[in-house]
Structures are given as structure tokens and as C-alpha cells.
Amino acid sequence: MTQRLNIDVVGRVDAAIVGSDVSGSDAAMTAVRAWTRAALPEKSQTFGGSAALSAGMFALRR
């Protein structure tokens, strides 16, 4: 089943990372640390994607 989402992005971004799972969150944080404007849309109602369903938390590198 295909789900269509309407996402409003205000302004310009340099990187669009789709999904806030572990790898998506890490990619977004890496982009921001490199002074890049990043957008991180998530289709779920909760941040974290499927990682949020497992234990409720996930680790990101510093």
C-alpha cells in the first residue's frame, strides 16, 4: 500500500534525509555538524522510525 504525505518545507535545505531511524538521524546530525541545512521528514507519528518501536530509544555517535 502506498501512502502519500504532504510535507511543507519552509526555506531551502542542502540535504533531505528521509526517515528518522538510526541511520537517518545519524546522517542528519552529521550534515548539521558540517554546517549543512538538513530536512528530516518522518512518515510515522513518532520520531525514530522502527527503532522507536523496539526498545524506545537508540544511540547516536558523538
CB atoms near residue 44 (< 10 Å): 13
> To which H or E segment does residue 16 belong?
strand 15-16
Centroid of chain to Cα 52: 12
CA distance 7 to 54: 26
pLDDT digits over 42-61, tens only? 877 777 766 666 665 556 66
The beta strand positions in the chain, using DSSP E, are 15-16, 38-39
* Percent of all residues in the chain with a pLDDT value above 70, rounded to a whole number: 68
Instruction: Indicate the pTM of the whole model.
Output: 0.62
C-alpha 25/C-alpha 48 separation (Å) is 8
Q: Could you say which DSSP state residue 59 is in? A: -
